[in-house]
Amino acid sequence: MTTAMKNNARESNAELRAKLKTLVVKNRRLDLIEERILEMLADTEVLVADDLLREKEAEELRQSITYTELWALPIIGPTGSTKTTSMESIAEKLKRRRRGNRPVLMVKCRASTRTAKQLQVQILEAFGDPQAELMQRRVANFSHKAAMDAIRKVARGAGTHIVVLDEVHNMLGRDKRANAATMAVAIKSLVNDGVFSIVVMGTKDAHLLFQVDAELNSRKFDEISLEPASLSDEQDYEYFFKFVGRVEREMADLGIIDKRIGLIDDIDSRAKIYDLADGVVGVVSRVLMLALRISQRDGRRSIGWDDIKHGFWTWKADQKDDDGNPIAGIYDPFKSNTKPTTNAAIREMSKKLKV
């Protein structure tokens, strides 16, 4: 094969992988998330509008005001549970509805974020505000109040009433409880000072932020759980396997692969795909992407279970804990066969739903 032919093949394979990456499933809880966000947004807008009136009156009288306490909404779920995808979809929809405004701002938390200052700088960065760099450089004369005023000003200008702190578990590091106590205070100050309401999004470790700070916990607007799909729940069961079936069909329809794999054709196949993902739809997508890469390297336009097995092993090897060590206890249906309990649950639910 000539160099030109190899380059063309690589480009073609990359295009197919890009198609697979754009296959986004709507989380069945998206409607609930959107409903809660809209409720919290409406409440926050009313409270902020009232603060603006009091602010104006206080300015005329040369007085200060105490801002209205706003809300915090935890959205908790494992990696791959489509938290970010779902929230980005809602944020984009609201941005289109309110041209010129950004009602919901997404902020992806960094692992290096350990202080209120670092969080404030990250929020300013997400707004694209040039003050972020200036605030970051300040050490001796850094003012939390000045930073808060800057954030409030840019948020008001952008029409932002909700900030989503995504992947907050990244901020907790090894000393989770101590770091959670520090960052809970930082988040609480944003909520208590009437800047905007906060969505706290992350894995189960994110619960610590509310466990260590009773006041932040009291500011909860609600709580949404995106736990893995349960085989004993009819809606979860249908959601998980309809997702897998849809991705497989569209992979074939879009020409990403030449033929379907048979991921949900029988009880054993369903059990295998459920066990390798532990009920988390995002893991299915990741493993299929890795399997596609493996098949493409062999010059094939189809994916078999052997490709999926090696894709799963690659994904599994990449799973690390906070110390960088491989996560133990990830079940491997290719080495241990599928769990008898999984087979039994799928068999029972399939019979019940007649699928």
Q: Which residues of the chain have pLDDT under 70?
A: 1-11, 21-28, 134, 137-141, 322-323
What is d(CA 117, CA 84) in angstroms, rounded to the nearest whole number? 24
What strand order describes the sheet that includes 224-225?
Answer: 104-108, 162-166, 197-202, 72-76, 224-225
What is d(CA 43, CA 41) in angstroms, rounded to the nearest whole number? 6
* pLDDT score at 166: 95
Q: Is the dihedral of CA 260, 265, 268, 270 positive or negative?
A: positive
* pLDDT score at 23: 61
* pLDDT score at 130: 79
* pLDDT score at 324: 73
The label of the residue with tokens 């090696």 reads 310
Quick: pLDDT tens for 162-187: 999 999 999 998 899 999 999 999 99
* pLDDT score at 6: 43
Beta strands in 104-252 (DSSP E): 104-108, 162-166, 197-202, 224-225
Phi, psi of 105 (to 5 degrees): -110, 130
Measuring CA to CA, which residue among 17, 30, 19 is closest to residue 81? 30
Quick: pLDDT tens for 280-306: 988 998 899 999 999 999 999 899 999
- Burial category of 1 from C-beta neighbours within 10 Å (exposed 0-12, middle 13-18, buried 19 and up): exposed
The label of the residue with tokens 């090897």 reads 317
CA 218 to chain centre: 24
**pTM, two decimal places:** 0.79
DSSP state of 229: P
Report which residue type is found at 223: E
What is d(CA 172, CA 182) in angstroms, rounded to the nearest whole number? 9
